[in-house]
Structure 1
Amino acid sequence: SMEEVVGQLLLDKKLTLAVAESCTGGLIGHRITNVPGCSQYFVGDLVTYSNDVKSGVLGVSEETLKAHGAVSEECVREMAAGVRQRTGASLSVATSGIAGPDGGTPDKPVGTVCIALSADDQSFTRRYQFRGTRDWIKLITSQVALDWIRRYALGLPLADSTLFRR
């Protein structure tokens, strides 16, 4: 599975991982913790659904939330940096989005998802427009986030297929 591949790479590269999740609601952490021995590389997962928790726990600035909203590349960049700083992990990913079936707007329709990766040597964000049910949007978001970790650990560019990119 992707989480097993990621876990082995994190072990091999001696990297630790922390996750900050909003729209995925803990699914990334759940998948990672399904792998026996994950405590060797997995530091923790913060599910920060509300803006108050995003700012109070992860340090996302009020200005970012007001100017760009919780579903933005700016917000997930700060979420990823915040969880990495607070946990001491060498690598982190963060997700925020609108999984539906409602809650979308013309600018950010259902399926809009932002993902970020933060590490000492780089920070990377991307906005996607996924289609499908709530469960599918959560699952594909978790898969893309895990693939970003895999790519980072392998030294591959994080710029992936534009298939889902908005």
Structure 2
Amino acid sequence: MVEESRVLLLAELLVRKKWTLSTAESCTGGLLGHTLTNIPGSSNWYVGGVITYANEMKISLLNVEAEVIEKYGAVSEACVLQMVRGVCNLANSQVGVAISGIAGPGGGTEDKPVGTVFMAWQVGNRHWAKRFNFSGDRQEVKLQSVQQAIEGLVSGLMCK
């Protein structure tokens, strides 16, 4: 379970800056959006998100370049960086996060085993990405992904 206090801190930071947040989720399937909207008043700072599970959706909705997916895969730093830019543009938000990974139990490779998750964040004009290697079952990988997405947002907003 994600600590509610971290989501409340995220909300406070966004409200203080008068910024809005959008999300692009793949392997988490909307769990991040669900977690954010569990907070009363989230409509003041969370404009929404997209679940782009299929590569075609990443390309058509978020303007991820097909060549990026072909060369690096959907589970890559290059892909999530384009996803976060795409969702912020789509939602006209200043802050965003994108998540793409392999939650399992299948789908992993030697290079990208189950639990590999890439995330990218945008806070104002700053963009960054990170690779995570989570353990546990599918639900645990999704939950850890949401926790880290929120932590990245809080850290990014505290640096601004």
Q: TM-score, normalization: structure 2?
A: 0.95
Query: Equivalent residue for 1:91?
Result: 95
Separation (CA, whole Å) in 2 of partners of 1:46 and 1:69: 19
Unaligned 5+ runs, structure 2: none
Q: Quote how far apart the aligned CAs of 1:3 are.
A: 1.5
The amino acid of 1:34's aligned partner reads N
Report the aligned-residue RMSD. Answer: 1.0
Q: Give the percent of matched residue pairs that are identical in Structure 1 and Structure 2.
A: 43
Query: Equivalent residue for 1:46?
Result: 50
Alpha carbons 2:123, 2:156 under 8 Å: kept? no
- Tell me, yes or no, if structure 1 residue 15 matches structure 2 residue 19: yes
Unaligned 5+ runs, structure 1: 157-166
Q: In structure 2, which of residues 24, 27, 30 is the aligned counterpart of residue 26 of structure 1?
A: 30
SS across alignment from 1:74 = helix
How many equivalent pairs are there?
156
The amino acid of 1:63's aligned partner reads E
Select between 45-54 and 117-126 the one with higher mean Cα deviation: 117-126
Deviations 1:64-103 (A, max 9, x none): 0000000000000000000001110011000000000111
The amino acid of 1:54's aligned partner reads K
Alpha carbons 2:123, 2:157 under 8 Å: kept? no
Query: Equivalent residue for 2:156?
Result: 152
Counterparts of 1:99-118 in structure 2 under 5 Å? 99-118=103-122
Q: Deviating runs (4+, > 6 A) in structure 1?
A: none
The amino acid of 1:143's aligned partner reads Q
Query: Equivalent residue for 1:132?
Result: 136
The amino acid of 1:67's aligned partner reads K
Separation (CA, whole Å) in 1 of partners of 2:19 and 2:46: 9
Query: Equivalent residue for 1:69?
Result: 73
Q: TM-score, normalization: structure 1?
A: 0.91
Separation (CA, whole Å) in 2 of partners of 1:29 and 1:114: 17
Q: Quote how far apart the aligned CAs of 1:120 are.
A: 3.2
SS across alignment from 1:136 = helix
Deviations 1:38-72 (A, max 9, x none): 11100111000000000001000001000000000
Q: Quote how far apart the aligned CAs of 1:154 are.
A: 1.1
